[in-house]
Structure 1
């Protein structure tokens, strides 16, 4: 359970980091604002025409008497909007990261260099078009996994009591897991860790991932919160990725350059991560 607090701590550290770096925060807001406008339009359309879609999909209820027809279709309309909202939360990060790839890539690199004992950040060495392709491909794969979970939770939502209590809780943990994957992918992709290896890492530290992503997923339900939290979420996910890979951070290394009693700044320091992706784990189009 300690990892839950550690994961939440990285979320807070990310927000504090961008608060100290106003320029990075300002640039990081732009992709979220663009994506927010698109998603708001889609959710408004779902709210306006969701009932019509449910009526079209349930012709067998046309002859039902009052109040059963209204209750049944009203319930399905509410579930449809809730599912749309869940998918919006799950995919908002992926779409925002895709739109803002250059912004968040730079932000993540800056965080890495800021906390690294030797002041450097890993780089993929790939051209921008290839990074965008890998990001879009992996985001689609994650979306398929998230959609399958969404369908399963939607079906379980019809179970009496369990569907109204346990299922929503599970849904938030699922959301938190996939949110963290999407955010940490910015840092992990630069290190050549492909999607399958990333998911293996996350499953090995699920409580850490939930501690970071589940509160963030809940916060994203607050109108406009996702836009303002995204830059800090990317920064925090970069710190979390370093933890998952066992990489030292300057704040955690008492012998880091510039620290009291530490190594001199001129000494060459090479981080020694406990995890190193094999050649087969390198991302490719």
Structure 2
């Protein structure tokens, strides 16, 4: 395990030490060396370049994660505890969206968004991440709700609770483990997305992944120090989320892994 950890952390070491090197010190030949002089200019430059796009990324991932999680919770509840004729077929069709490569539908999706008049940038990316997040959120919540005893639902019906009241008063309060899993999953996926950002935004209204690519000049990488500092800055939010909520993420996954 220690060996695997070292292998994983090796690129992080190169990123970290290079982010503190000056222009003459940061080069592929000296990638493993510590900086001759530790400087903060790269971090300051990276922050100035990425700060607006980091703010837009938060504007995208927070509502998209919350809304897709709530919609997935409703779908999972109806498909597992308030079943109807054809529920399995509906669930299969929802899951089918997980297996279609984004690249295969990007052109028609772009034409659809343009035809619908959805503004590019933050509004388009929020809508797309909500829609494409529904299949996985539905799957996670459905698996979790199948472990809920049916006696709870029957007791709610006896007390006169309908479908929505049962969900709001009985199901939603016990859904915290799955909400943690889904929110972390959706936050990370939306934050790290680059494909949607390229097609549906620009450097002026796009997320941090697009700005980071522009900062690194694509394949023509010249300023290694500021690019490495930018990469670390862009990776901090999902890293902090996993550090703070990692144990709840694993617990939430395991909560829906067995039935009974």
Using the size of structure 2 for normalisation, the TM-score is: 0.33
Whichever of the two has the greater Rg, that structure is 2
Using the size of structure 1 for normalisation, the TM-score is: 0.31
